[in-house]
């Protein structure tokens, strides 16, 4: 059995297959996911699991060089933004329009859907290298 924190087999598989500059998304229950983008649906009910729980779990295993957040998060969900900033530390953030983020899901390796129901709780994680 795996010893690392990510025990969801689909999330673990996607992380292990990511290369430099590949992206994976994590988001709220309402984010529309393109039909051809793999959706890993963890949502059980409203708020379970939370966006931050899943983000923390994925970050425990994925080397991230940059994150993308919706520009709208600054005004619509500043509490969540503060929590993300605290968790990611010095990792650079690029703010993009939410509509662009939805389009960018066409290029992600997968999107992990949570039970989060707060506005703009979505993130794209850009994979870095460990060497």
Q: Does the annotation flag 28 for ligand binding? A: yes
The answer on whether 16 is annotated among ligand-binding residues is no
Say whether 122 counts as a known binding-site residue: yes
Query: Regarding beta strands 64-70 and 93-96, do their DSSP bridges make them parallel or antiparallel, or are they unpaired?
Result: parallel
- Catalytic entry in 9, 20, 21, 44: 20
**SS in 3 state form for 6-44?**
CCCHHHHHHHHHCCCCCEEEEECCCCCCCCCCCEEECCC
20 is an active site residue:
yes
Asked if 25 and 97 touch (Cβ cutoff 8 Å), the reply is: no
Detail the residues annotated as belonging to a binding site for substrate. 28, 98, 120-122
Detail the residues annotated as belonging to a binding site. 28, 98, 120-122
| Residues belonging to the active site | 20
């Amino acid at each position: 059995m795996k010893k690392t924190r990510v025990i969801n087999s689909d999330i673990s598989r996607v992380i292990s297959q990511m290369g430099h500059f590949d992206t994976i998304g994590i988001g709220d229950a309402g984010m529309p996911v393109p039909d051809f983008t793999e959706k890993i649906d963890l949502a059980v009910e409203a708020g379970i699991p939370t966006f931050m729980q899943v983000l923390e779990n994925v970050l425990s295993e994925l080397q991230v060089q940059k994150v993308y957040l919706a520009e709208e998060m600054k005004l619509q969900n500043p509490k969540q933004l503060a929590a993300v900033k605290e968790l990611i530390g010095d990792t650079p953030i690029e703010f993009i329009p939410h509509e662009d983020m939805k389009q960018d899901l066409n290029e992600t390796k997968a999107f992990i859907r949570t039970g989060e129901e707060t506005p703009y709780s979505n993130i794209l994680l850009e994979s870095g290298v460990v060497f």
